[in-house]
Structure 1
Amino acid sequence: EKSIFWGSLQNTVLYNVGFIALNLIISIAFAIIMSELRNKKLVKVYQTMSLLPYFLSWVVISYFVYAFLAPGNKGIFNQMIMHNGGMPVNWYQEPKYWVFIILFIGVWKGIGYNSIIYFATVMGINPTYYEAAMVDGATKWQQIKNITIPQVVPLMTILTILAVGNIFRADFGLFYNVPRQSGALTPVTQVLDTYIYNGLANTGDLGMATAAALYQSVVGFILLMITNFFARRLDSDSALF
């Protein structure tokens, strides 16, 4: 039981570290790209398309994923593999693929929502900074590196601090619905939230579930305070308080 708990805890932390890093990089990149487009109608179309997955439930997304990863010759990926002379893969029995699948789906679902606040910040930067940079002969990349990114750093720091505070919490819908509760995938897809749920559903051990949930809250709060402390030491304007 202890090994299952520590495995779930490890998965939770590692997945969240991956999500924090990927969401930060991809969301900022997407926001900057959108801000550089001159066709505002296209910007609205792209933003709407990127936001659509965020409003889909994990149940719906799990069926989309299954359409691609269904075993045998039913799944789209397996049909492509067989068309090229390969052997079909039983995706729901192969844990080695699921770290990348989970990270990809999690980032894909949230990229539109996560990039909105960065996009608003980028669009709020004083245009005179860019005009002065262009007069000095700065390239577009130099403008992004020396103007856009430094202006967004305080927001990046605050959102990262908040994300670190939730590093012991996982998206239950993602880890419960998308792998379809396949036992073979448990070592790489079970996180604290699914561990707590399974503990309640299978054993009815309310004390274990309560202790695990309390552990998530207390340790998350401690990490938030530590991260905020170091952020304040580095730059007081970037800290939460």
Structure 2
Amino acid sequence: MRPYTVNISKRGGINIKAIPLVRKKKRGFFWELSRNRFSYLLVLPALIYVFIFSYASYPYLAIAFQKFNYVKGIFGSDWIGFENFAFFFKSSDAILITINTVKLNLLFLAFGTFFAVSIAILFNEIRSKLFQKLAQTTMIFPSFLSWVVVSYMIYGLFSTNFGIINQIIHYFGGETINWYTKPDAWTWILVGMKVWKDAGLASIIYLAAIAGIDQSLYESADMDGASRWQKATRITLPLLAPTIAILTLLSLGKIFYGEFGMIYAIIGDNGVLYPTTDIIDTYVFRALRQVGDPANAAAVGLFQSTVGFTLVFLANWFTRRFFREGALY
């Protein structure tokens, strides 16, 4: 419906005129690119990274179905169907490795989300701005450490002869423990180190979501005499639920991808700890290093990606049905 102007003259007459519609000129992609060129320039390194390591690598998935030969290349190698997948699935350790991968990732996800949300809520409750900045800096700092550096820190804690943990046990009259021969303990050691390293940085996302909550809700709760605990559990957590759900769905896509950098840096080739720490990624890396066949690694990588995509799709369907606000699409 077109807008109109109404003019009333001194004699009481009414004059109605239609306002001509001004059609906006369509702007093309290059005009948008030129207008915001500096913003797109900042995004360019990330786009190049994603293009090279994600989209440009798609053609190489073909080697998962080939007896790959470096001389013949992708287009000249012989096709062997699903034989490369048998390399992993017929392995005697396939079930154990898969269980370890899923178990560790689920523990990382559960404890990481719990502590990241808890830290974000605690940061939100801090009233001193100076202490808040100091605490945030302290919690985020471990995220910038290399897993190689962290592995030396762990060795300093759990070394049999000189580790701090054994020193404390010996001080109180206990016997020293050779932690590097105790597979069961390393599940929780890895979970603890993963949470310590990543929870602080992950809490920033939740802290940003908390900052977007309408402050009038907290003011109304104050007028009703609500305590800080009640405001956190009755207002903050329910409004954080969509963010938690979306980040959990995104993490499910990597449920079959282990933390290779962490586990290989900390565990290395210590076969004694393999029963609880060996995952798909470290297993494939060892096989690739010993056999030197990239087709086997590509087959396992394709399997991991397919399962991850399926899990995200099913989890999103389930979430959309029962909790629409937390669905990805």
TM-score band, normalised by shorter chain: over 0.9
* Contact residue 95 and residue 187 of structure 1 kept, 8 A: yes
- CA displacement 1:95-149 (0-9 Å, x = unmatched): 1211110100011100111100001111221111011011112222211111101
Partner of 2:96 in structure 1?
7
Shift in Å, 1:207: 2.8
Partner of 2:114 in structure 1?
25
- The counterpart of 2:198, out of the listed 110, 123, 136, is 110
Secondary structure of 1:2 counterpart: coil
Shift in Å, 1:180: 3.5
CA distance in 2, matches of 1:181, 1:76: 23
CA distance in 2, matches of 1:197, 1:114: 28
- Aligned CA-pair RMSD: 1.1
CA distance in 1, matches of 2:320, 2:127: 37
Partner of 1:68 in structure 2?
157
Indicate whether 1:82 and 2:175 are aligned. no
CA distance in 1, matches of 2:120, 2:283: 35
**Paired residues for 1:206-217 under 5 Å:** 206-217=294-305
* Contact residue 155 and residue 163 of structure 2 kept, 8 A: yes
Partner of 1:226 in structure 2?
314
Select the structure of larger CA radius of gyration: 2
- The counterpart of 1:37, out of the listed 122, 126, 145, is 126
* Paired amino acid for 1:67: G
* Contact residue 113 and residue 199 of structure 2 kept, 8 A: no
Which structure dedicates a bigger proportion of its chain to helix? 1
5+ long unaligned stretches in structure 2: 1-89
Shift in Å, 1:216: 0.4
* Contact residue 28 and residue 118 of structure 1 kept, 8 A: yes
CA distance in 1, matches of 2:93, 2:293: 15
Query: Relative to structure 2, which stretch is displaced further, 137-146 or 218-227?
Result: 137-146
Partner of 2:181 in structure 1?
93
CA distance in 2, matches of 1:90, 1:205: 36
- The counterpart of 1:144, out of the listed 229, 232, 239, is 232
CA distance in 1, matches of 2:168, 2:324: 53
Q: Kindly report structure 1 stretches of 4+ aligned residues shifted beyond 4 Å.
A: none
Secondary structure of 2:93 counterpart: helix
Shift in Å, 1:210: 1.5
Shift in Å, 1:208: 2.2
* Contact residue 136 and residue 200 of structure 2 kept, 8 A: yes
* Paired amino acid for 1:203: V
Structure-1-length-normalised TM-score = 0.96
**Paired residues for 1:155-234 under 5 Å:** 155-234=243-322
* Contact residue 158 and residue 239 of structure 1 kept, 8 A: yes
For these two proteins, the number of residue pairs brought into alignment is 240
* Contact residue 196 and residue 213 of structure 1 kept, 8 A: no
Shift in Å, 1:217: 0.3
Secondary structure of 2:305 counterpart: helix
5+ long unaligned stretches in structure 1: none
* Contact residue 180 and residue 273 of structure 2 kept, 8 A: yes
Structure-2-length-normalised TM-score = 0.71
* Paired amino acid for 1:135: M
* Paired amino acid for 1:239: A
Shift in Å, 1:48: 0.7
Which structure dedicates a bigger proportion of its chain to strand? 2
Shift in Å, 1:199: 0.9
Query: Relative to structure 2, which stretch is displaced further, 58-67 or 203-212?
Result: 203-212
Shift in Å, 1:76: 1.2
* Contact residue 95 and residue 184 of structure 1 kept, 8 A: yes
* Paired amino acid for 1:70: S
* Paired amino acid for 1:195: Y
* Contact residue 124 and residue 207 of structure 2 kept, 8 A: yes
* Paired amino acid for 2:301: A
CA distance in 1, matches of 2:212, 2:308: 32
* Paired amino acid for 1:222: T
